[in-house]
Structure 1
Amino acid sequence: MTTYINASTPTGNDRRIKLLSTDLIFGGIDNVFVYPSLDIDRLKNALSHTLSSWLILTGRVFIDDNEQYFIEFSDKSIPFTYIENDQLEQWPNLPVVVDDMTILQPFIDSVQYKPEIEPLLRLKVTRLVHSGEYILGTSFCHMIGDANSNIHFLNDLSQNYQHLEPCFPHPVFERHPLDEEDPEVSLLPILKCYQNTNTRELVIARIIKEQTETDYINISFSSKQLAQLHTLAGGVHNGVTAHDAFCAYIILTMNKYLFLTDDEYIRRTFMLINYRNTPDSLATNSNVINAIITTLSSDFPEPLSLSSIAKTIRQLVETTRQKDYLRKLVTSANILMAQFIKNGHVNFVWDKNEVIFNSNFKYDWANEANFGMINQCRFHTMGLFKYYFRIFQLNPVKGDDGNWTKDNGGVEVAFRIPKELKEKFIEACKKDAAENFINVK
């Protein structure tokens, strides 16, 4: 059954927010959260109250005669679907990133890209009759904002459900104005992601072909293992983070165990970098936008060295976030993205010797949307591609005694890899872990 939830205080009044080209991600952020219990009426009331601060979600995408994209605050209602499922005995033990989309899709009412028509948020709750568990499927229009923006909304909803004060600052929806000029030529190499484009049809065809040629990998690393890798990469004394070290370990393992010749090595990586709270203040934790930019590292000086790869990644992150330089990067990326979207292209393209990291390591999705059930909420998402690495914090685990525990700082990485390389990669990681990474240099 679907009901429609309005903001308790609708004050949108049809005002408009002009979107940046970097906001034009035509899809939704689709996730699933699993809870031992949930009060549906209380959740609906919390949603109505939350929408009063999140009026952008009650709006619609609008395109004017000049092909400028806006979100119009039109005070529309949000669809909220509730159903019961008596087929599934209990929620299965799944990794954070699920490869088989048919497992999660029945539990999500996904937003669609339909300007002036489609809601920008959809919620679906499924109660599992046999186990009493509740599955919350959320679909958040990506043109509203990135993972940080989505978590901001979900945390506000969770806090309102518990009648608690918000953890995040009040959301701000206006975009920071950018100059409309030619992209800076000197920045084009680092912004290769916004130039390597192709038609949507060709990219989709490539992805479908890769799905048949690759297998899914999902590996978990404990917080102790991650700390050990951080130490081996030089740690804080080398200026790198645990996340840098982990990404470097993945690349090192591929180069060391999977490839026969050095011309096959992974030489550089794209990183999706969040630029909130940088000195340039293009965005803060208040801003509900897509404050992410994808930049390409320089070549690894030593592609078989953990510390060398980690330092190259850290250099990329720090350079990207530098004041003034960041503004030029974001401005240039915005111009380049406008160009390839106008041409009907997408930029989901990377070359041989390159990989890409889209990491959510900094976000504890399950905890941010726990609705008071700390360490009892599990989080799942989907979307995996060849050499496209997705990193998330571990879900909590229920022990035989019925108690829930969570390894804070542990990570899970998921991606697709050519079929013939899958077992080599898994065995290499298992061997390294069994030896406490003593042979990782």
Structure 2
Amino acid sequence: MIGSEVRVISVLPECAEIKSDVQNIQDEMHLPSHDLWMTCIKNVHVIPGKLSPERFCNALSRCLRLYRPACGRLRRDLHSDSWKIHLDDLVIPLEVVENGDLHPPSSWVIQDEITPFLSSTSNLDSLLCLKMTITKNQTLLGVSWHHSLGDATTLLRFMRSLSQIYQGLPLRDPVPDFSKYHFPAPTEEEIAEQAPAMPHLVCTYPTSEIGQRYRDRNQKMATIRFMLQRTQTENLMNWVQNGCTIKLTTQDCITACIAVILNLCQTKEHKITKITNAATYRGISAPWASSALAGNPIYIVPTDELDLSHATDIRYIAQQVRQSLINARQPDFVQRYMSVAGHFMSLAAKDNKQFFFGSDLRTMSVNSNLSLDWHSIHFGYPGLARFHTAGVSMYYLRVFSANPVDSAQNLEEGVEVSFGVPEEMEDQVLKILEDVKSGHFDVLA
């Protein structure tokens, strides 16, 4: 960048008693097939103050002692087609850029582009890359985290531990448990039974093609972004819950609300007939589901086929979503599902293919971060730090706690919702959303 000073600092994990501080980890980590998410999670944290690169590096070194696999090297065993992270204690590159003129992202969590804030350091072996952009009065932290290290919860805990160590405060999260459970190989009957529930794993494409597949999927797409105040979400939830026999969550109600809006704007042959939720089985009653688990205890949970006669019945849809998630937290279901999911994920990794979440035009996919407190990663600026990521796709619903808008005002906490729709639906969707925000829920009845 013109007028920018760029330097790269190499950070190693703190050496003292590395192995004694980390649970269930030796010199290499054999990855189960369900950990083979061969992509990166990319986020940006905006801190309203200048962080010290030296102090940050010291905190990072200490944090890496707990998250040592982040310094490892991902390798495939050609003899067994299995994958390992070799704990080689590679340096983590921290790219530091001083640029007083760089404009930070807008207040929306979901951005069209965050690449300028991410590391450009070219080290293909690095499972973790960080970039610190220091402006006149802010620090932007760009994070590229290889998904094989763990899911969003694992990344959140890593970054929050880094924030706590930087401040000299006790850790808020448990010591990460890197023990790995390998689900048994599925039978042919189990594959045939479970495969229809996971088209995103069955329908894969070469890495070189996946970008074009999504561009084709999202042709003539309009991006919908809106924010609900917490009181508005509570009012919506109370209204939906009235008359339901299952206790619902805020997310269930938001999901059902958006599904109803989409179906109100669609002809019968294009209505949403299935909803999938990205979910975790971390913490269920099973020996392989520790609440401290670091990895990818995640799966995509589908509802049953929705009855089209109830396609605009918000209470019916909300209960279908909740019941699917309740059923999916049974250990025997998790075992069956993950065995088959791992089978397909292993095939994709072997063939260098990526999962495609857009094959069914009548499915709404939900990936909610509403339960993840990304704003707790604040490095000493509680209530003021912002969080950003990217990625909007057709009928792909993403939900986050909204960023603070104005640090000078004590604004009510909000919920940010984003998804993509066909351009011809945009005006009608926005009109119904305005009614919902105004509390006119009868439009959803």
Question: Normalization by structure 1: what TM-score?
Answer: 0.90
Find the counterpart in structure 2 of residue 430 from structure 1. Answer: 434
Displacement of 1:233 = 1.9
Residue 191 of structure 1 deviates from its aligned partner by: 3.1
- One-letter code aligned to 1:249: C
Task: Confirm or deny that 1:78 pairs with 2:92.
Answer: yes
Query: Aligned runs of 1:30-429 on 2, under 5 Å?
Result: 30-37=42-49, 38-66=51-79, 67-88=81-102, 91-99=104-112, 101=113, 104-109=114-119, 114=124, 118-129=125-136, 132-182=137-187, 184=190, 185-234=192-241, 238-256=246-264, 258-259=265-266, 261-301=267-307, 302-348=310-356, 349-367=358-376, 369-398=377-406, 402-403=408-409, 405=411, 407=413, 410-429=414-433
Do 1:30 and 1:110's aligned partners in 2 also have CA atoms closer than 8 Å? no
In structure 2, how many angstroms separate the alpha carbons of the residues matched to 1:157 and 1:406? Answer: 27
- How many equivalent residue pairs? 425
**Residues 404 and 120 of structure 1: is their aligned pair in 2 closer, same or farther, counting only changes over 3 Å?**
farther
Paired amino acid for 1:42: R
Measured in 2, the distance between the counterparts of 1:112 and 1:240 equals 46
In 1, distance between residues paired with 2:109 and 2:274?
26
How far apart are 1:362 and its partner, in Å? 0.6
Q: Secondary structure of the residue that 1:366 maps to in structure 2?
A: helix
Indicate if the aligned counterparts of 2:107 and 2:386 stay in contact, CA closer than 8 A.
no
Tell me whether 1:27 sits opposite 2:34 in the alignment. no
CA RMSD of aligned residues (A): 2.2
**2:182 partner amino acid:** P
- Structure 2 residue 429 is matched with structure 1 residue 439: no
- Residue by residue, what CA displacement relative to the aligned partner does 1:382-422 show, whole Å, maximum 9, x if unpaired? 111111111111112225xx245450xx3111122211111
Query: Percent identity among equivalent residues?
Result: 26
**SS of structure 1 residue aligned to 2:290:** coil
Q: Are residues 255 and 281 of structure 1, via their aligned partners in 2, closer, same or farther at CA, if it must alter by over 3 Å?
A: farther
Distance 2:122 2:360 in 1: 30
CA contact (8 A) 2:186 2:336 kept: no
**Distance in 2 of aligned mates of 1:423 and 1:282:** 47
For 2:205 and 2:66, how far apart are their aligned partners in 1? 39
In the other structure, the counterpart of 2:22 is none
CA distance in 2, matches of 1:111, 1:19: 26
Q: CA deviation at 1:123?
A: 1.2
In structure 2, relative to structure 1, the CA distance for the partners of 1:386 and 1:406 (3 Å cut) is same
Cα 1:312–1:78, aligned 2, differ >3 Å: closer, same or farther?
Answer: same
Q: Which amino acid aligns with 1:108?
A: L
Q: TM-score, normalised by structure 2?
A: 0.90
Query: In the aligned structure 1, how far is the partner of 2:165 from the partner of 2:382?
Result: 15
Secondary structure of residue in 2 paired with 1:438: helix
Shift of 1:173: 1.4
How far 1:111 moved relative to its partner? 7.8
SS in 2 for 1:439: helix
List runs of 5+ in structure 2 lacking aligned partners.
1-6, 20-24
Distance 1:293 1:113, change over 3 A: farther
> Which shows bigger deviation, 6-15 or 421-430?
6-15
- In structure 2, what is the Cα distance between the partners aligned to 1:285 and 1:213? 42
Which runs of 5 or more residues in structure 1 are unaligned?
none
Q: Quick one: which of 3, 7, 16 aligns to 2:28?
A: 16
Measured in 2, the distance between the counterparts of 1:149 and 1:186 equals 30
Instruction: Kindly provide the amino acid, as one letter, of the partner of residue 293 in structure 2.
Output: N
Report if the CA contact (8 A) 1:21-1:335 is conserved: yes
Query: Shift in Å at residue 435 of structure 1?
Result: 4.2
**One-letter amino acid matched to 1:352:** L
Contact kept in structure 2, 1:122 and 1:138, CA below 8 Å: yes
